[in-house]
Every structure is written in structure tokens, then in C-alpha cells.
Chains A and B, each alone.
Chain A
Amino acid sequence: MSESNDSSNRKWLYRKPRALSDTPMHYCPGCGHAIVHKLLAEVIDQLDIQEETVGVAPVGCAVLAYFYIRCDISEAAHGRAAAVATGIKRVLPGRIVFAYQGDGDLAAIGMGETIHAANRGENITVIFVNNAVYGMTGGQMAPTTLTGQKTVTCPQGRDPETMGPPIRMCELINTLDRPYYISRVALDGPAGVRRARKALTTAFTAQIEGRGYSFVEILSPCPIYQRCKPVEALKFVRERMAADFPVRVFRADGKST
């Protein structure tokens, strides 16, 4: 580990977070997961919680998160991360527990677990990486796929008449009484990345302080299945996704904003 050699008082402008491993990531070029992993690791470092954090990895592109994030991590069955996180947090209330999930995992098959964990106000942090498409399985329609967006299972574009419109998770969770912090950010450029880090810091801080459920939705590029170049994917996130999924804080300090 290179960071173990830095006993000098040298000021670092930048270095890889300690909570991020050296394992090369399997993510596609331009994928948002790598950025979210790095942000998560930075926040874990910043709050100095690496030794008490237990994460839950989803089924989906981020299933191998335990190779990259240096904290204890469990897999969960597809969609069940919030239930597994509940089971961990309830028996280890002093630990910091997060679930890291994609849109298919969290908003389709895991909708029930997502909503009920939020409604119970579980003192966990849910990180929702929304890239509007299933990645790992090859680009199928997600519950958050935009109207008209083409995927392999809606090759003509998503038709709300037969497929329903995209589901907005922050708005849905914001109808519940118990969640403490709900925020949507977008990885659409440097400013968006900074806001994402801030949202994650706020969410984990809320959990550390025992305030209850925190939910951070991160609109994220997936150039491969959003069917565009990496730079265009940032534009897709900024212009098309953010139009359907407003980027804002929905609830702070337990109150809707």
C-alpha cells in the first residue's frame, strides 16, 4: 500500500482514498460506478468510518464492489440489499451500514424492500446509482428508463402506454414520514461530482448521528447502454435524465424541502 509510506508531513494535493483498493475495476469506460466508488471511499476516509462500516453490494454491475471498497461487504440477492442492510443494522446498531444499488435492483425487483426499509426509517444509507438501464445483463429497460429511450427490451423506445413512465424514487420515498435525508445528484461534470460527494457525506453523517434513513440517488452515465460516447453520456445525464429526475435535495433534517 503506497499510503502507508507517507509518514512525512508532505501536503497532498490528491491521492487515492485509503478505503479504495488497488484492484483494477471491471467497469466500462465512462461508467459512473467507478466515480461513485471513489466518492464513497473518500467519504469513508473523511468520516473515518472504514473500521465500523458494513456495506451491502447489489446484484448488477456493482456486485463486485467488495473488490474495490475496503470495508466489510456482503452480497445480497437481487433487490434485497435494503432487507440485508436492515438485518445487519438491527443486530449491529453501532456500525455504519450502507446498501449500494442500481436501478433494476432498487426500483424494480427490490421496490418492496426499498420502500419498507425507508418507511421503517432504518438508520442506514442507501446509495442508488440510477443510469436508466440494466447494465450487467446487457442493456434492458429499467424502471427508470426514460420515455422513448431505446434498450434491448424496448427496441422502439420506452412506450409509457404499455411500459409505464419512468419511476421517480426520491419523490416516492419523499411521501413517507420516516426518512431523514433524501437527495438526488447527477454525475454530469465536476460540479455534479462534488455535489454527489457532499450528498454522501450528509447521508453518512446523518446515520452516524443516529438520525435515520438516508437516500442518495445518483444519476449516472452508462455510455455503453445509454448508447452514446462517454462525453455525450454526461450530456444525457445532465439534459435528458435530469429533465425527468429533478436534481435537488428532497428532504434534509427530516423535513421536506
Chain B
Amino acid sequence: MVKRTLMTGNDAVGEGAIRAGCDAYYGYPITPQNELTAYMATHMPRLNRVFIQAESEIAAINMVFGSVVAGKRAMTSSSSPGISLKQEGISNLAAAELPAVIVNVMRGGPGIGNIAPSQSDYFQAVKGGGHGDYRLPVLAPSSVQESHDLTIDAFSLADRYRTPVMILTDGRIGQMMEPLRLHTRPIPAPPPKPWALTGAKGRKSIFVRSLMLNNGDLEQHNIHLQAKFKKMAAAEVRFEETAIDDCDLLLVAYGTSARVAKSALEEARRTGLRVGLLRPITLWPFPSERIAARSSRCRAVLCVEMSAGQMVEDVRLAVNGRTPVHFEGRMGGAVPEARDVFRAIQKILSPSRKKSKP
């Protein structure tokens, strides 16, 4: 039975976590993710699961650390400045190979910024974020439905690879309401966790650490981690393509920007311009190979973001100079308008107009 309801993106993440078997949620108030914390405060205790409003974002991520080191599924959520505070904890989770889900409902930055939707935490999310050499899967929903579905996927991804996973969404998707088909299929049981600290009953005591002082140990651990990241990068790339087969111009955008880009694409198609859209669903691993292949058949690539241009750097790396890559974006909590993206498309594709800046 498909159960349909109407929800905000933030609530959809919360309900996804609950249906994924999240045992513990730890949050701290920050706009625009507060609905999620409130949702968990209402629903987790009813299910006899753990909810704590922590004393800080730092405490929250470390409570997550405690619950996942004990073998349970746990999640925390925040928005940009709060995610900065969690970075040490995320680095520790990655180093200690602990599965956890972290939700960033991005707002405008830098600094305290504002509470409007933004995508300016892309670098922080996909390049590591905290200290040390590590990566974590970053899932970017562009609808309420996807906020729900990707949260469920995030928990199994986290367990499969023993890694923190980030849901990277933004204030607009978090706060808007859309129809939602709730996930009703049974969730597969988490894999066995022989590494979990549950008390040394019937076995030797074990420990979980990220400190490795002995000469060479940390290098070996890094080699092991990098091999795992490579495995994830090969197996977990996800994206969605729209009107891609004949396009002269390839749009690349994720999250809210992808919705705007899609509107611009429709407008462009109506005027006969052949435009396609590649929407990365995983920002790490990034669909580099697909973008490289697609862009080689296009005249130009246009990246749309709510930032000064962050993902565009990964797009340029993928395209590797074979096709001109353009950028259209707004900053500081501003959302690009479809007509501006459409004009940018026209400028790039129409030879009669002045060439846009690369």
C-alpha cells in the first residue's frame, strides 16, 4: 500500500530516519532545520527511541558517536554554522569508521550568514569538511520525496561502508511542503556489527579509536580508508538526467538549483534551444565520468548553484577543458531565477548575442 501524505522536506527526513530504524537522534536548534528536531522530539519518544536536545551541535555529534559506537543507528541534523561545529566529530566518525547520518539544511554564509536557502557548504561537504584525509558520501535531495528516500538510503549506505553519510539539503527544500509517498517496504536489518562496543560478554574486550601513535600505523589506516573511498566512488555514484540525448548545452545543478535549472530547461526547449540537465544526486562520489562523457557531445556546460561557484570546480575537473564551462549562481541566501538561467543559456547558445564570460 502506498501511503501518500503532505510534508515539509525537514519532516520527510525525520520520517525517513524513523522508518530506516534510527535508534537515536540528537539535535540542537538552528534555523532552517528546526522542524526536523521538533519532528524527532515528537515521534522518537513515542517509539521508545532516543531523543535528546543536546547542549550544542558538538555535543550532539558526539552523542551520535556514542550511539553508533554502541552498534545502533543514529542521526543528527543542523544547518551550516552548526555543521561547521560538528566537523571534528565527523572527522572522528570517518577515522573510526563509524556509520552515522548527518543532515545539513544549508543556509546562507559565510559566518552566521542568514537563514535563507543556500548551497555554499558544497566544498565543506564533499572535500572532507573536517581535518585529515577523508571523504563521506553526500546525498543531495531536490524534493520532499527525495529527502525522505535518500535519508533511508543514507542509513544503509552508512552501515554498508561503516562511514558517516551526509544529507546535503537546503532551507527551501527543508521548509517547503510537497506530496510524499511514505516508504512502506520493510527495511533490511543492519549488517552485523562485531566491532560495536556492547560489553565484552563472551569475547575479549575491544576498543574503538582514531588515535594511532605507533610509527606507520596511521599511514596504513589511511591507505585502508582511501581504498574504501575508492570502492564507494566506484559503486555509489547517482544522478538523474533530463532531455540529455540531443543537447547542445548541458546544465549541471543539484538540489533547489536543479529545480530552477529544470524550469529554465523547459523554457529553453520551448524556444527550440537544445538543453539537457544532469542532476547529481550524490555530490560525493561525484558523477565525473558521466559529466565528462555527456559534455564531450555538447557545445557548452552551464553550472547553476546557490553559491559563488563551488560544484562548478568539480564540473571543470570532469570536463577537463574539452568544453567551455559556464557558471550562473546567486550567493548569500539568494536563489537563482529560472529566467536568469534561461538568459544565460540564450547568451551561451545564441551566436548573435555577446558571448558570456566563461
Contact = CB atoms under 8 A, between A and B. Distances in A.
Contacts of A72: 197-200, 205-207
Given A91-B67, A113-B55, A80 B199 contact: no
Nearest to B51: A90
Given A72-B200, A90-B50, A77 B67 contact: no
Contact of A85 (B50, B66, B205): B66
A83 interface: yes
B63 interface: yes
B70 A91 contact: yes
Given A53-B199, A112-B55, A113-B55, A86 B207 contact: no
Interface stretch (B8-16, B88-96, B278-286, B298-306): B88-96
Interface stretch (A63-71, A159-167, A199-207, A228-236): A63-71
B70 A54 contact: yes
A87 interface: yes
Contact of B74 (A56, A59, A87, A116): A87
Residues of B in contact with A, size category: 35 or more
Interface in B184-218: 197-202, 204-211
Interface residues of A, number: 38
B24 interface: yes
A73 B207 contact: yes
A50 B52 CA distance: 28
Contacts of A120: 52
A66 B204 CA distance: 12
Interface of B: 23-24, 26, 50, 52, 54-56, 58-60, 62-72, 74, 88-89, 92, 96, 197-202, 204-211
Closest 7 CB pairs of A and B: A87-B66, A66-B207, A83-B62, A87-B63, A80-B62, A72-B197, A116-B55
Interface of A: 50-54, 56-57, 59, 63-64, 66, 69-77, 80, 83-92, 95-96, 112-113, 115-116, 120
